[in-house]
Amino acid sequence: MNKSVVNQDVLTPPYGRLRVAIDAPLAASFDYLAPPDATPADIGLRVVVPFGTGRRVGLILAVLSLDADLDPDAPLAAQLKVAETILRDLPPLPTDWVNLCLFAASYYQAAPGEALLQAIPTGLRKPDPTKRRALKHPETIVGRVDARPVLTVGQAAVVDQLSARLEGYSANLLFGVTGSGKTEVYLRLIEVALARDQQVLLLVPEINLTPLLEARVTRRFPDVPVVSLHSEVTEAARARHFAAALNGEARIVIGTRLAVFTPMPELGLIIVDEEHDPAYKQLEGMRYHARDLAVWRARQRGVPIVLGSATPSPESWANVQSGRYQRLDLPERAYADAVLPEITLLDTRRLTLDEGLSATLLEELAQGLAAGEQSLLFINRRGYAPVLTCTACGWISNCRRCAAHRVVHRLDRTLRCHHCGDTSPIPRQCPDCGNADLRPVGRGTQRVEEALQTHFPQARILRVDRDVATTRKQWEALEAQISSQNVDILVGTQMLAKGHDFPALTRVGVVGADAGLFAADWRAPERLFAQLMQVAGRAGRADRPGRVIVQTEHPEHPLYQCLLRHDVPGFLTLELSERQRAGFPPYAAQAIVRAEAKQLETVLAFLQRIRSLIPIDQHPEVFIYDPVPMRMVRLAGRERAQLLVESPSRLALQAFLNDWLPRISQGKGTTRGHAPGGVRWGVEVDPLEC
């Protein structure tokens, strides 16, 4: 708490004390002497306060009298600093929004102030904010107005069922194959919600999916204020959009995971597109899952939520089986003549491959060229090759700061670590022995692109990965090039696997997928299956049938057999049965404490010490594993290890964390996030990677 003697004669009782949340890694809120104009109506407003040696913007949680019955640890009035200015440029943030942030902080074991303030755009957290411009009216949008297409029988049935559930809370899993018209279902539900004078929150996993969906929504509802919230929206625009949602002017909010915290006083419907996508998990700061928070928020507000996916997550599928979610199916594509693509598993064990490409796959690409159709070659590894090696001494291009290889990028002749960004020129000779014969091993999108240019010199080949599409504008330019059919063959990563409709694309080839079958991460098969189903769904639309060829050395694997049959329920049933036998989520709750320091011994010693802070018999339903190095033990020059905590009961795990984590922070020289020896640590609840 802040302690500084001030003159109390300037105060106007009875409201002399503000309780303020500050963006700091501390469990406590802070008390300040209130400005003379403070009233209880100011709860939920931002306030500029002195903090440490500087000034910060906090959030008012309570307005109290100086002599209120306070916590015994609360500072005396004579010890308080004076709050500077209460910011009244926006309406108060509503109680339900505050409760959402506080729930997130409690469940994900973050500091309340961090959760509350980090949910507010940066531009609204500055002590001296710049003047915000008014929200642009949607009349400035230029373009055609989309007509409402005729619904298929399946779409109409789903819309009718969901429309009947718009009164009160319901959690609905919309399971629709790729091309089944889930977006049209979303638009019809949005139409119903708008007619009821309600706001709608629409979440998408990736920034590059936002402009396409935003354009479609604004064309369907040209007179409705629509705002977007994601990391590429400018600071000033994000503040305006947040304010427009808070004051009710914005009726539709489209955004990525952070948009789940958008204050919407008239919220009536939440939609989460591609609900299975791991991008909904925040991996820094408070490590929340936006999909799960969206479900909690829908229940809190008493509104329906629709979770859409062609490849639902096992967790959502288990919630359907338990009755928590209601399942609705769109088993057929939206166009009458469209059918699911034909999938072929090509056994490559006895085949000679040219840069990873079989003769059969090359022939398919040639047929696509001859027919004037587009093809996609999917390889989920960017760069030219995963590693460079010396043929004489065995030197390999290890990262100097990580336990990983630096990837060969041939276009700019660099070796680049995809984890920490460490970059150096490709050496002309081996750094160890001087041998000039250095060879790239394996292949990425650049190498496959080069091979295709050799085989098809007349073809227009376009590579799409994070190296060529780092911003929204770059992606929009690539998408326009593809849609205008100025491309014959696409080479791309998972960026191309979801949410895109390319009508001329009829053939998909998959290279190098087997690595996901036997990865150390037990979630890898789930991600691989979702990727392959999504990328297969790019092939064929309307009157153009699609073909998919998957090169594999394990065609008999159950995952590939489910893929062959387009059997998503079969794969999820198999995956859930294996997880149940192993005691993995969703049949167990997990949390991980991760720590890092310059020396691995320091990290392991810290984890071993905190492991013994609570006797095991105090929480019999919780099991704490031994500390172990992480799979990538070194990242950006720091050594990393982790401690896994598991319980069959989510409530028991939360009770343990609430007991355990404060004890860690109370250790000598230890705070939330830091410990002696230069240790940085943090906890992740419901981790996606163990």
Average pLDDT of span 624-630:
96
Task: With a cut of 50, say whether residue 135 has pLDDT above it.
Answer: no
Of 461, 541, 534, the closest CA to residue 501 belongs to: 541
Query: What average pLDDT does this structure show over 618-642?
Result: 95
The pLDDT, as a whole number, for residue 680 is 96
Q: Is the Cβ–Cβ distance between 635 and 603 less than 8 Å?
A: no
143 touches 137 (CB < 8 A): no
- Of the two residues 285 and 338, the one the predictor is more confident about is 285
Please name the residues in contact with 334: beta carbons below 8 A apart, sequence gap of 6 or more. 152, 155, 179, 180, 181, 184
Among 7-16, 304-313, 538-547, 657-666, the range with the most confident prediction by mean pLDDT is 304-313
Q: Which amino acid is at 321?
A: Q
**pLDDT recorded at residue 518:** 85
Residue 625's pLDDT is: 95
Q: Show the 3-state SS of 495-548.
A: HHCCCCCCCCEEEEEECCHHHHCCCCCCCHHHHHHHHHHHHHCCCCECCECCEE
Angle 79-81-86 from CA coordinates, rounded to 5°: 145
Distance, in Å, from the CA atom of 128 to the CA atom of 113, rounded to the nearest integer, reads 20
Does the pLDDT of residue 4 top 60, yes or no?
no
Least confidently predicted of 95-99, 140-144, 248-252, 320-324? 140-144
Is pLDDT above 50 for 6? Answer: no
CA 174 to chain centre: 19
pLDDT of residue 405: 93
- pLDDT beyond 60 at 136: no
Instruction: Give the pLDDT band of residue 275 (cuts 50, 70, 90).
Output: very high
CA 40 to chain centre: 37
- A 10 A CB-CB count for 305 gives 26
Higher pLDDT, 1 or 109: 109
Beta strands per DSSP E along 204-314: 226-229, 252-255, 267-273, 304-309
- Given the DSSP bridges, would you call strands 267-273 and 199-203 parallel, antiparallel or unpaired? parallel
Q: How far apart, in whole angstroms, are the C-alpha atoms of residue 345 and residue 565?
A: 11
For residue range 161-215, list pLDDT tens digits in order: 999 999 999 999 999 988 889 999 999 999 999 999 999 999 999 887 777 788 8
Residue 79 pLDDT exceeds 50? yes
pLDDT in tens, 557-607: 999 999 999 999 999 999 999 999 999 999 999 999 999 999 999 999 999
Query: In a 3-state reduction of DSSP, which class is residue 674?
Result: strand
pLDDT digits (tens, 9 = 90+) for 444-470: 999 999 999 999 999 999 999 888 887
236 vs 425: CA distance, rounded Å: 38
Looking at domain 342-384+443-578, which of 3.40.50.300, 3.30.1280.10, 3.40.50.10800, 3.30.499.10 is its CATH number?
3.40.50.300
Question: What pLDDT is attached to residue 334?
Answer: 73
- The torsion angles phi and psi of 344, rounded to 5 degrees, stand at -120, 130
Looking at the DSSP bridge assignments, the partners of residue 489 are 375, 461
* Tokens coding 616: 């095991």
Who's near 5: CB < 8 A, 6+ residues apart? Answer: 78, 79
* Block residue for tokens 């998957």: 550
Percent of the chain surpassing pLDDT 70: 93
Rounded mean pLDDT, 312-327? 97
Rounded to the nearest integer, the mean pLDDT of the chain is 90
| Distance (Å) of CA 172 to CA 44, 199, 305 | 32, 18, 6
In DSSP terms, 309 is beta-bridged to 175
**Mean pLDDT, residues 615-635:** 94
* pLDDT score at 8: 38
Q: Give 139's pLDDT tier (boundaries 50, 70, 90).
A: very low
What are the tokens at 159?
């819309």
pLDDT at 129: 62
95, two tokens: 């109680």
- Chain CA centroid to CA 466, Å: 16
Within 13 Å of residue 261, how many CA atoms lie on the same side as its CB?
A: 26
pLDDT tens per residue across span 223-239: 999 999 988 888 889 99
Q: Is the pLDDT of residue 516 over 70?
A: yes
DSSP state of 209: G
Residue 669's pLDDT is what? 79
Lowest mean pLDDT among 179-193, 355-369, 489-503: 489-503
Instruction: Identify the pLDDT of residue 70.
Output: 59
The token duo for 536 is 């297969």
Lowest-pLDDT choice from 66-70, 289-293, 361-365, 584-588: 66-70
Which residues, other chains included, contact 416 with Cβ-Cβ below 8 Å and sequence gap of 6+? 383, 406, 407, 409, 422, 423
Amino acid at site 100: L
Per CATH, 8-91 and 589-685 having the same topology is answered no
Helix (H, G, I), strand (E, B) or coil at 601: helix
pLDDT of 12 reads 43
Written as six digits, the tokens of 252 are 């539709």
Residue 37 has pLDDT above 60, yes or no: yes
- Report angle CA 336, 340, 345 to the nearest 5 degrees: 165
The structure tokens listed for 240 are 């305006």
Q: What is the dihedral of CA 331, 333, 336, 339, to 10 degrees?
A: -90
- Output phi, psi for 174, to 5 deg: -95, 100
Q: What is the 3-state secondary structure (H, E, C) of 617-658?
A: HHCCCCEECCCEEEEEEEECCEEEEEEEEEECCHHHHHHHHH
d(CA 14, CA 581): 61
Q: For domain 589-685, is the CATH number 3.40.50.720?
A: no
Domain ranges of the chain: 8-91, 148-330, 342-384+443-578, 589-685
Measure Cα distances from 9 to 18, 34, 47, 70, 625 in Å.
Answer: 17, 12, 21, 21, 58
- CB atoms under 10 Å from CB of 625, counted, come to 13
Task: Provide CB contacts within 8 A for 682, sequence distance 6+.
Answer: 287, 593, 594, 595, 673
Q: Which two tokens stand for residue 346?
A: 């090509």
DSSP 3-state of 3: coil
What CATH number is given for 148-330 in this structure? 3.40.50.300
Quick one: fold of 8-91?
A: GIY-YIG endonuclease (3.40.1440)
Neighbours of 90 (CB within 10 A): 18
Instruction: Classify residue 357 by its DSSP letter.
Output: B
Q: Check if the beta carbon of residue 423 is closer than 8 Å to that of residue 430.
A: no
Q: What is the pTM of this model?
A: 0.91
